[in-house]
Structure 1
Amino acid sequence: MPPTDLFRVPCPTCGSQMRFSAEKQQLSCDHCGGTQAIPFTKEKLEERPLNGYQVENQLLPNAPTEEKRVFACPNCGARTTVNSDVPTITCAFCGTKNVNPEARKTRLIEPAGVLPFRISHEQAIERFRSWVGDDFLAPSDLKAGAMPDNFRGIYIPFWTFDAQAYSNWQGEAGFHYYVTVQVPDGKGGTMNQQEQRVRWESRSGSHAGFYDDILIMASKQLESQTDTVAEASSYTLTDVVDYDPRFLLGWDAEVYSIDLPESARQAEANIHEREENACASELGGDVQRGLRVDTQLSDQTFKHILLPLWICAYMYNGKAYRFLVNGQTGRIAGERPKSAWKIAFLVAGILLLILFFYAISKK
């Protein structure tokens, strides 16, 4: 496929621009209904070495790059790839409509893989309608009153990291035991009482683990929704296929705004935390103190991939609530209003149960 056709694939029947269809899992023409298959290959999904010196010094590793036409939204700053001949652009993050300027070209690390959309616009809306009313504490009229606005599918940039970790650890494990002691009984005498004490034992050891596909989101636009993104980002990464720009036809794609060095540091911090937890588990004991873990990483590699996400907000009683729909699985995460009346009734019910069981215990 020549470079000039990367973001333009005319329909062989009518010449209209084709787009990737989540329902059909191939290119589809909205004008005449024609289709064209795309190969779902995994021949280029290779890990790239991550050199520690380069990460520290903010240098790019020896990875393939590509020239992309990038549009920066003047309202929220989000950067997305665009087709140069599209007359207007709607920002997938803030909904601002813009006339397509002379989008600048930027050399970026090329994605190694992409997870094509499987959840269509209609399916995402249906998932939303089911989810929005599926909360006991939500207002009764939420499902009918929640109106989704600017429902947009976008490929979000992620980095994945692999590493071999080896840790040496040492610390003290404490084991509870009990002794019988005499304490005042409040009547001028004494009584026996069990007192808990701790027997400390010094221990040391090592732990090794291989970490595969540590997933780090590369979008600053979604940083404020980290917990929501994590909840929605339960992707099956084994379904990632070789990157092909044709999968992006008809969809928005954000350019990574959290670069490789910063993301690599996040991944390393994640691995160090998991190694510390693993070593704490090996240390054992009822309580612990003085755990020290020295972790070394080797064979560090990375991939740049694009994952599908539906981003939207809905209005209820004049207030906007944001939510996300996983473009592969349909999993939803987001905000839902709570009914003050239902919360009050729930609290009252719990208090009544407590009073009821208290009254029974006194009989």
Structure 2
Amino acid sequence: MLDEKNKNIELCSNCGSPVTFNIEKQQFACDFCHSTFTTKAEKDFDNLTYEADDLIPFHVPEGLAKKRFFEWLIKGENVPLDILGKINNVQLEQVFIPYMGVNISYEGSWGADIGYNRSESYTEYVTKEDKKGNKYSEPITKTRTVVDWNHSSDIFSGTTFQSHMINDELTGSIATFASRSSHLAFLENTKPFDEHYTAGTRQLKISSNKVSQVLRSVRSFAQEEAEKKMLSILPGDSNKNAKITKFTYDLTSKYTYVPFWKITYKYEGIDYIVIITAATKDKIEIDGNRPLSQDDSTVEKRMKRNGRFGLLGSLLSLLITVFDILPDATGPLFGMLFIVGLGVWIYFAVKRHSFLGNNKKHLKNNLHEYPEYVGLLKQYPE
């Protein structure tokens, strides 16, 4: 029965590669993109399932994640000054987000017109006059650079790497942040997948749609990288009409679970979400949502707007003076307007900077008096 199934040459619905039938699990498996499915009829990507190849264990403890969260929270612009006193229901959850890494090996051949520079001498005749006013031609030897063009071709090869987040549950700025963190999936501390590491955590699903998007983009990405490699190895001093005449590539993909702390909290009845990288202590990155003080935001925007009005008036006065649009008698007036406008801009810029600085100083002082943070600071000193 196994031989008969393999004779049918089942093809992977995801990437088109030949698959083999696992008689114990009673399912087909693709060694190329790691997808599994039951029969040839099930070609819908929603029916494909994926398993992680490896993961990164949590390296950031809960206390350190919470400490960094408090420090991040007060650094936002126009954060309410009473935020530490009014946030509640702060909850931390360990989450594994899946990423796909693709190692690509490519080879091909190129053809191009290659130019080599060389110097050559030539004679140019210059007309001169003698003391009697008689004109005569005098030869002058000069040097110029010319390019000799020859068509050339050769073979080349190289490797490249691409990584992507492969989950479609995350949305908005959180998804953007998680996508930017795809490099974390391939740190040195990656380990083979083991369920002992994921006990008590939540693992986001590997999205078949995301996987298929990555695999579809691999060829164009590989070609772009190959073109860069070709241009970097072309001989000669210049080239034109360079193109790849033959191109093939192979890829090896793997799925990696990367750890993040997900923090949810409430401020005045509104839910907010923050995620924190937990793959390494050396560089912890945070992104998420903060509350915004509408009053402080309005005051800060008004100061910024007033300062811009002053700057605009100063620039208009300068332009009128430079291009002499109005009579000369108005020159001193516009010169004065220029100075006044510049002064208004500087005044509101300083005032705005002072306003924001005082708010941040107030929040920082509150943080260092916040009992929970004081305890975390003793446990995880700077």
Aligned residue runs from structure 1 range 83-232, under 5 A: 109-142=50-83, 144-147=85-88, 149-166=90-107, 209-212=158-161, 214-224=162-172, 225-232=174-181
Aligned residue runs from structure 1 range 229-240, under 5 A: 229-235=178-184, 237-240=187-190
In structure 2, how many angstroms separate the alpha carbons of the residues matched to 1:312 and 1:294?
52
In the TM superposition, residue 157 of structure 1 has moved relative to its aligned partner by 1.8
1:331 correspondence with 2:285: yes
1:274-308 CA-partner distances (Å, limit 9, x unpaired): 5567779999xxxxxx9987884523101121110
The match for 1:252 among 202, 211, 220 is 202
1:264 correspondence with 2:215: yes
2:57 maps to a residue whose letter is P
Aligned to 1:345: 303
In the TM superposition, residue 331 of structure 1 has moved relative to its aligned partner by 0.8
1:241 correspondence with 2:191: yes
2:188 maps to a residue whose letter is T
1:191-232 CA-partner distances (Å, limit 9, x unpaired): xxxxxxxxxxxx9999854213x2222212125543121244
| Higher mean C-alpha deviation, range 248-257 or range 324-333 | 248-257
In structure 1, how many angstroms separate the alpha carbons of the residues matched to 2:49 and 2:231?
40
1:343 maps to a residue whose letter is K
1:334 maps to a residue whose letter is G
1:300 correspondence with 2:251: yes
1:231-286 CA-partner distances (Å, limit 9, x unpaired): 44452622212222211122222332236444322444544555567779999xxx
Q: Structure 1 pair 65/230, CA: closer, same or farther in 2 (3 Å)? A: closer
Q: Structure 1 pair 334/150, CA: closer, same or farther in 2 (3 Å)? A: same
In structure 1, how many angstroms separate the alpha carbons of the residues matched to 2:156 and 2:80?
50
Which runs of 5 or more residues in structure 1 are unaligned?
A: 1-50, 68-105, 172-202, 284-289
Judge conservation of contact 2:32–2:252 (CA < 8 Å) in 1.
Answer: no
Judge conservation of contact 1:216–1:267 (CA < 8 Å) in 2.
Answer: no
Secondary structure, in 3 states, of the residue corresponding to 2:208?
coil
2:194 maps to a residue whose letter is D
What CA RMSD, in Å, does the superposition of the two structures yield over aligned residues?
4.6
Judge conservation of contact 2:49–2:208 (CA < 8 Å) in 1.
Answer: no
Instruction: From the two aligned structures, give the one with the greater strand fraction.
Output: 1
In the TM superposition, residue 354 of structure 1 has moved relative to its aligned partner by 4.7
Instruction: From the two aligned structures, give the one with the greater helix fraction.
Output: 2
1:55 maps to a residue whose letter is C
The match for 2:31 among 29, 54, 62 is 62
Judge conservation of contact 1:229–1:333 (CA < 8 Å) in 2.
Answer: no
In structure 2, how many angstroms separate the alpha carbons of the residues matched to 1:298 and 1:325?
36
Percent identical pairs in the alignment equals 18
Secondary structure, in 3 states, of the residue corresponding to 1:55?
coil
In the TM superposition, residue 130 of structure 1 has moved relative to its aligned partner by 1.0
Q: Count residues with an aligned counterpart.
A: 240
Which runs of 5 or more residues in structure 2 are unaligned?
A: 1-10, 20-28, 37-46, 114-150, 235-240, 322-334, 336-382
TM-score, normalized by length of structure 1? Answer: 0.51
Aligned to 1:314: 265
Judge conservation of contact 2:101–2:255 (CA < 8 Å) in 1.
Answer: yes
In structure 2, how many angstroms separate the alpha carbons of the residues matched to 1:311 and 1:215?
22
1:309 maps to a residue whose letter is F
1:250 maps to a residue whose letter is G
Judge conservation of contact 2:259–2:278 (CA < 8 Å) in 1.
Answer: yes
2:63 maps to a residue whose letter is E
2:197 maps to a residue whose letter is F
Judge conservation of contact 1:232–1:332 (CA < 8 Å) in 2.
Answer: no
In structure 2, how many angstroms separate the alpha carbons of the residues matched to 1:147 and 1:233?
31
In structure 1, how many angstroms separate the alpha carbons of the residues matched to 2:171 and 2:221?
17
In structure 2, how many angstroms separate the alpha carbons of the residues matched to 1:141 and 1:294?
65
1:118 maps to a residue whose letter is H
In the TM superposition, residue 344 of structure 1 has moved relative to its aligned partner by 3.3
Secondary structure, in 3 states, of the residue corresponding to 1:222?
coil
2:307 maps to a residue whose letter is G
Judge conservation of contact 1:272–1:295 (CA < 8 Å) in 2.
Answer: no
Judge conservation of contact 2:158–2:229 (CA < 8 Å) in 1.
Answer: no
In structure 2, how many angstroms separate the alpha carbons of the residues matched to 1:111 and 1:255?
10
1:33-92 CA-partner distances (Å, limit 9, x unpaired): xxxxxxxxxxxxxxxxxx99961379642379899xxxxxxxxxxxxxxxxxxxxxxxxx
In structure 1, how many angstroms separate the alpha carbons of the residues matched to 2:217 and 2:91?
32
Judge conservation of contact 1:58–1:261 (CA < 8 Å) in 2.
Answer: no
Aligned to 1:16: none
Judge conservation of contact 2:261–2:275 (CA < 8 Å) in 1.
Answer: yes
1:106-142 CA-partner distances (Å, limit 9, x unpaired): 9955432210001122222211111122123444444
Q: Structure 1 pair 54/154, CA: closer, same or farther in 2 (3 Å)? A: closer
In structure 2, how many angstroms separate the alpha carbons of the residues matched to 1:54 and 1:247?
29
Judge conservation of contact 1:64–1:110 (CA < 8 Å) in 2.
Answer: no
